[in-house]
Amino acid sequence: MADQWYFGAGRLSRKVPPDMTEVFPVILFYKYVEVADPAEFATAQRELCLELGLKGRVLIANEGINGTLAGPSAAIDCYTEALKQDARFSDITFKLSAGDPGTFPKLVVKVRKEIVTLNAGDLEPDRDNLLNPSAWKERMESDPDAVVLDVRNRYETDAGRFENAIVCGIEHFRELPGYLEELEPLKEKHVLMYCTGGVRCEKASALLRQRGFQHVHQLEGGIVSYQEQFGNEHWLGECFVFDQRMTVKVEQGLKQIGRCAHTGGVTSRFVNCLHDPCHKLFLVSESAERANPDLRLCPECLAAGLTSETAEYRQPASL
């Protein structure tokens, strides 16, 4: 029997032990809203998640909340209900995908300066230029002057992206301000911007408009919301996610674009470079690595003459 959770009068109670055989949904959520005491709110969030047996990551700052959590369906339902009972988050949107007990290894709740790090100074996140997936898709299809801009990291776009999208090739979102010079030709264009769930776009849009970009439009709800409605229309490959799954995909009409960095073979398997000072995340096929263990090194480290024997890496802890 699955858990039955109850939240009311500020108190949480559980009737029966969790059923580990049930579906483990994953929720993705964020909201930019003033949080007067992030540390106090983080403590309450941590206690709630621990009581519910949820794992994942929740980041809290004065500017809001950004999280992704996984757990038994009943526990997830209880969490979403509890968060929405807070007036600040009564209208928060939760995006849902399928996970399992191993989706996250642990629970992390942290207070940060920003709920997504951009390091661009004080920016009021944009909300006035959101296009719902239907309107965004229609604009992409009908406006010859529109360009599609992916503001995610390089490895995310390696796994999947919208067709004809301009990708930034940055390793971290905080590098976007320094990359804007490369995007100067887009200043007068209609820019259709997207990210995974929307949290990065609200800041990236504000940054671009601050720097003189005239026509910026965000995909409301990001890739996740778009694929809920339109699947793989105009989409290539898989969607990178920041958990143990690494990528998620819509099977119908799937067009794989992930390629092994060494052989060019089709793959969606990510690894970190074996050389710890590098630790770059990249795609490598299992068969290629099995045939040559040196291919666990990224192309740059391999070209520098490193091998699996000479690379610096931490030995796994002994049992």
195 noted as active-site residue: yes
Catalytic residue among 49, 78, 195, 298: 195
Q: Bridge partners of 279?
A: none
Spatial separation of the C-alpha atoms in residues 198 and 201, rounded to whole Å: 5
Amino acid at 41: F
Contact (Cβ atoms closer than 8 angstroms) between residue 35 and residue 61: yes
DSSP state of 234: T
- The tokens of 95 are what? 């995006």
Spatial separation of the C-alpha atoms in residues 301 and 311, rounded to whole Å: 9
User: Helices marked H in the chain — which ranges?
Assistant: 38-52, 73-84, 133-142, 154-159, 176-179, 199-210, 222-230, 286-291, 299-303
Q: Which long-range contacts (CB under 8 A, 24 or more apart) does 178-184 make?
A: 180/207, 180/208, 180/211, 183/149, 183/208, 183/213
- Select from 196, 198, 197, 216 the least CA-distant residue to 206: 216
- The tokens of 48 are what? 């709630």
DSSP state string for 249-306: ---TT-----B-TTT--B---EEE-SSTTT--EEE--HHHHHH-GGGGS-HHHHHTT-
Contact (Cβ atoms closer than 8 angstroms) between residue 133 and residue 220: yes
Residue 287 zone, left/alpha/beta (φ > 0; ψ -120 to 50; rest): alpha
* Residue recorded with tokens 């047996």: 53
- Select from 43, 105, 38 the least CA-distant residue to 65: 38
Q: Catalytic positions, please?
A: 195
